[in-house]
Chain A
Amino acid sequence: MLTSMLPEFRVERNEDRCIQCRVCERQCSFDVYGYDADHDVMIHREENCVACQRCAVLCPTNALNIRINDYTYKPNANWTREHIQDLKKQAETGGVLLTGMGCDKPHKIYWDHILINASQVTNPSIDPLREPMELRTFLGRRPDHLEMKDGKLQTIEHPSVELSTPIMFGAMSYGAISYNSFASLAQAAYEYGTFFNTGEGGWPKELRKYGKATIVQCASGRFGIDLDYFNDASMVEIKIGQGAKPGIGGHLPGEKVSEHISQTRMIPEGSDAISPAPHHDIYSIEDLQMLIHALKEATDYRMPVSVKISAVHNAPAIASGMVRAGADVIVVDGLRGGTGAAPKILRDNVGIPIELALAAVDNRLRDEGIRNWASLVVSGGIRNSGDVFKAIALGADAVYIGTPALMALGCTVCQKCYTGNCAWGITTQNPYLTKRVNPEIGTRNLVNLLRAWSLEIKELLGCGGINSIESVRGNRLQLRGIGLEQWELDVLGIRGAGQ
């Protein structure tokens, strides 16, 4: 218990409405509530509140209001409340500040400075309700040219995977998220014809039936990896970096390694699962090439191999190396990408926004004439279908969504994933809490999300007079910037609004 902290949130209870049913007490996993039987009142320990809103949502009489605590230090533009509280926490513990989810700092969100075009009079718009619209997307290397002979395609095809919509669920491991959440993602991806990514925590045997919708990860910890793991999936992804914490590894504490997680990761129960910062067999592009081809050998060249990095300053040069090393798909994860746990100082200060990284990587690969060698997937900061559309127009083939998918399962972005106490039952392994995600409802909500965004993307295509997502890919003429400086427009490769 830290003594120098002000409660971050205030619990306001309308006593006229409260019926002392104690739902709030049972639902709160952060020990905010108690019941005083002598006086028949609920008591509050506000210092524990994380504003996940679980209690407020489930209160049957809407008696609770969780709001930001208005205690204030003397206003100071430099020493904000966050800085002061963080510093005091560190003075008491001597530890690295942990946090969850993606960067919450007000770095410029470029999606909000990009506007999409529409057709008027000439090149008429299309009504997606009446005309076919194509969202189908293929990921994998494209041949340099096609050769036809006697009406038959002669070029040897590189392996690829087919998506019904250019949206996939990003890597979230079983361990970081609960089994029910993980299974919901797998089933929803399978039902909708897209993909989910296992992350680096292995892949439970009973979910292998969703192999057609599964991308498996090979990360530095090599957890749960054997030849079946690769060959039961449809694509293998080498994880080098993650947008939320570029350049560092992962660490699942032993207390989260339950019996089933231990089986899935193939490590002893209760032992720490530590992912080293680098892959120790990759110290160069040549080494990366070696692992890419080891995975191709291990899967008999039947599936594309993907490489994921976080968006860093020299991402374009690294991406070029990745493509030349034989990656069929490259994934760039931006500054705002989420995580189950990361040092706060890294999450908030390391990396660059995905919009800029995406445009720069796409430019570089085009300039070098190797854009067709690999598909480009981006993630980290996609919030709605408009962001997806803009990402594709900037040059992406598809996107991964992580945080939005968790929100469909109940997440309210309280950023406490690292505590393992998620009141919504998502980032926890506590059986009392994990029951809160019902896999059937979770699957339905995720499928709904994919369906809703796909319909909206079709609307955006139709208003621009376009009937296929392929025609938007890298079509930056569809975009205009607003409130951007010239250098930003140059990096994004778009013109300003009105130009």
Chain B
Amino acid sequence: MSASEAARAKKESFKSRRVIKLDATGTYYKDLNREIRARAQEGFRLFEVNNVYGQRYLGTNLWGIKDREKIRIRIHGTPGSDMGAFMDGPTLEVFGNAQDAIGNTMNCGRIIVHGSAGDVLGYGMRGGEIYVRGNVGYRVGIHMKEYMNKVPTVVIGGTMQDFFGEYMAGGRIIVLNKFFEGNPPIRQSYFIGTGMHGGSIYVRGDVEAHQIGAEVGISEPTDEEWKVIEKYVAKYCAVFGLEKRQVKLLKREKFWRLSAKSKRPYGRMYAY
């Protein structure tokens, strides 16, 4: 390695370890996101954004940046809607609650919310992971899909509202119904999985037949699926700093798997 190459490598390594601190107070989302993109293009990988109040589209504009899966943005405050929309690689961690449409059509990457999140989380999501410590709103996980080695996964510590996993075509959602004070009980959620034709929803707690769509079947998770659930619960505990023994407290018999009865729910509707 020549001296100049060594110097460049040292500089790169310095950039990848240095945390860029940004104060979002009074900053328009476009300017905030442009700033992050510009610094990421320079080679910086770690970001700490403070005083975020409703700025949208965090993590969306990081297209075409080398090693973008190493980008990690820690967000303090309440980020705006469409956080991580179309995101392809980076990790976003929110120390607070998040708004609507988090991880919209996300392709790859990780979102961690140390609070609750709003409606339409993970809409059309194809890859990556989303962890929400608390509860989520309405229409979460709609039309999630999977492809090849991409299996999008959403883990929710609390519970969800209506229209959960509608049109779901792939991926998995795990609802732990635990770890969070004041959960609304699961029985408040209706129209779960309406139009579902792929993927799996794992719910801890009883789901009544009148809460789910006509296309959805209820069964027990298989041994293999239980291993996957355990793996993601362990990950959930790790990202939120919970003790691992919490995993053991989750009884397998409390979990139900919701999945599509048919891959062709609308196959017999038409006259040719």
Q: Which chain B residues border A254 with CB–CB below 8 Å?
A: 263-264
A281 within 8 A of B: yes
Known A-B contacts A231-B64, A268-B170, A298-B61; A96 and B85 likewise in contact (beta carbons under 8 Å): no
In the assembled complex, A221 has its CB within 8 A of some CB on chain B:
yes
Q: Is A473 an interface residue (CB 8 A)?
A: no
Main secondary structure of the interface of A (DSSP, over half): mixed
* A272 and B271 form a contact (CB under 8 A): no
The stretch that binds B, out of A222-230, A332-340, A363-371, A453-461, is: A222-230
With A227-B86, A267-B147, A268-B147: A294-B120 Cβ-Cβ less than 8 Å: no
* One of A87-95, A121-129, A378-386 at the interface: A87-95
CB proximity to A under 8 Å, residues B222-263: 263
Q: In the complex, A246 Cα to B142 Cα: how many Å?
A: 21
Q: Which residue of A lies closest to B139 (CB)?
A: A280
Chain B, residue nearest A90 (CB): B271
With A227-B63, A300-B37: A419-B272 Cβ-Cβ less than 8 Å:
yes
B197 interface neighbour in A95, A220, A271, Cβ under 8 Å:
A271
- Residues of B contacting A274 with CB < 8 Å? 143, 167, 169, 195, 197, 266
Tell me, rounded to whole Å, the shortest Cβ–Cβ distance linking B264 to chain A.
6
A96 contact from B105, B166, B271, Cβ within 8 A: B271
Please give the distance in Å from A70's CB to the nearest CB on chain B.
Answer: 25
B166 & A298 in contact (Cβ 8 Å cutoff): no
Q: Is B146 close to A, CB under 8 A?
A: yes
Compute how far the CA of A228 lies from the CA of B146 in the bound complex, rounded to whole angstroms: 18
When C-beta atoms are compared, the residue in chain A nearest to B63 turns out to be A227
Contact partner of B81 (CB less than 8 A), chosen from A93, A221, A271, A290, is A290
Q: Hey, what's the 0/1 contact readout for A296-337 against B, CB within 8 Å counting as 1?
A: 011111000000000000000000000000000000000000
CB-defined contacts of A93 to chain B, threshold 8 Å: 271-272
Cβ 8 A contact of B86, one of A90, A94, A294: A294
Q: How many Å from the CB of A289 to the closest CB on chain B?
A: 10
Chain A residues with CB under 8 Å of B268's CB are 95
Closest to A418 in B: B272
User: Which residues of B sit under 8 angstroms from A94, Cβ to Cβ?
Assistant: 271
Known contacts: A276-B142, A293-B57. The answer to whether A227 contacts B271 by CB under 8 A is no
Give residues 53-95 of A contacting B (CB, 8 Å): 89-90, 92-95
Residues on B with beta carbons closer than 8 Å to the beta carbon of A253 = 264, 267
Considering the complex, which residues of chain B in the window 79-125 have a beta carbon less than 8 Å from any beta carbon of chain A? 81-82, 85-86, 88, 100-101, 104-105, 107, 120, 123-124
Could you tell me how many residues of chain A have their Cβ less than 8 Å away from some Cβ of chain B? 42
Chain A nearest CB from B147 CB (Å) reads 4
Minimum CB distance partner of B64 in chain A: A231
Q: Is A266 an interface residue (CB 8 A)?
A: yes
- Whether B135 sits at the interface, judged by CB under 8 Å, is no
Complex alpha-carbon distance, A294 and B197, angstroms: 28
Pair count A-B, CB < 8 A? 132
| Nearest opposing residue in chain A for B124, CB measure | A222
Complex alpha-carbon distance, A92 and B272, angstroms: 11
Q: Is A98 an interface residue (CB 8 A)?
A: yes
Known: A294-B60, A297-B57. A280 touches B266 (CB 8 A): no
A98 touches B270 (CB 8 A): yes
Task: List residues 255-293 of chain A with CB under 8 A from any CB of chain B.
Answer: 262, 266-268, 271-272, 274, 276, 280-281, 290-291, 293
Q: Mark A330-363, 1 if CB is under 8 A from B, else 0.
A: 0000000000000000000000000000000000
Q: Does A251 contact B (CB under 8 A)?
A: yes
Contact A297 B263 (CB under 8 A): no
> If the complex has contacts A93-B271, A95-B269, A96-B269, are A267 and B145 also in contact, measured as CB distance less than 8 A?
yes
Complex CA–CA separation, A55 to B56 (angstroms): 58
- Contact between A276 and B167, CB atoms less than 8 A apart: yes
How many residues from B make CB contacts under 8 Å with A? 47
Roughly how many angstroms separate A98 CA and B145 CA in the complex, as a whole number?
A: 27
- CB of A491 closer than 8 Å to a CB of B: no
- Mask, B57-77, CB within 8 Å of A = 1, is 100110110000000000000
Taking the closest CB of chain B, its distance from the CB of A407, in whole angstroms, is 24
Closest to B104 in A: A281
CA distance A96 to B100 in the complex (A): 36
Which residues on the B side are within 8 Å of A280 (C-beta)? 120, 123, 139, 142-143, 166
B204 at the interface (CB under 8 A from A): no
A97 to B270, CA, bound (A): 6
Q: Contact at A272–B263, with CB atoms within 8 Å?
A: yes
Distance in Å from the Cβ of B179 to the closest Cβ of chain A? 27
Provide the residues of chain B in CB contact with A297, threshold 8 Å.
Answer: 30, 33, 56-57, 60-61, 85
Q: A271-B263, A293-B56 are in contact. Are A226 and B107 (CB under 8 A)?
A: yes
**Are A227 and B107 touching (Cβ within 8 A)?**
yes
Bound: A418/B169 CA distance, A:
22
| A95 to B, closest residue via Cβ | B271
Contact A96 B270, beta carbon cutoff 8 Å: yes
Are B88 and A227 within 8 A (Cβ)?
A: yes
| Across-interface contacts of A230 in B (CB, < 8 A) | 63, 86
The docked-state distance in angstroms from the alpha carbon of A93 to that of B268 is 9
- CB–CB B101/A98 < 8 A: no
Contact with B along A227-251 (1 / 0, CB 8 A): 1101100000000000000000001
In the bound complex, do residue B104 and residue A294 qualify as a contact, i.e. CB atoms below 8 Å apart?
yes
Docked pose: A297 CA to B63 CA in angstroms = 10
Q: Is the CB of B86 within 8 A of A272?
A: no
B266 A251 Cβ-Cβ under 8 A: yes
Docked Cα-Cα span, A294 to B270, in Å, equals: 36
**Chain B residues within an 8 Å CB radius of A221:** 124, 143
Interchain nearest-CB distance for A58 vs B (Å): 25
The docked-state distance in angstroms from the alpha carbon of A262 to that of B145 is 12
Kindly state whether residue B126 has any CB partner on chain A within 8 Å.
yes
6 closest cross-chain pairs (CB), A and B: A222-B124, A95-B271, A93-B271, A227-B63, A297-B57, A266-B147
Residues of B within 8 A of A (CB): 30, 33, 37, 56-57, 60-61, 63-64, 81-82, 85-86, 88, 100-101, 104-105, 107, 120, 123-124, 126, 139, 142-143, 145-147, 150, 166-167, 169-170, 195, 197-198, 263-272
Provide 7 A-B residue pairs closer than 8 Å at the C-beta atoms, listed in order of the A residue. Answer: A222-B124, A266-B147, A266-B150, A272-B265, A272-B266, A276-B142, A281-B101
Q: Which residues of A contact B (CB under 8 A)?
A: 89-90, 92-98, 220-222, 225-228, 230-231, 251, 253-254, 262, 266-268, 271-272, 274, 276, 280-281, 290-291, 293-294, 297-301, 418-419
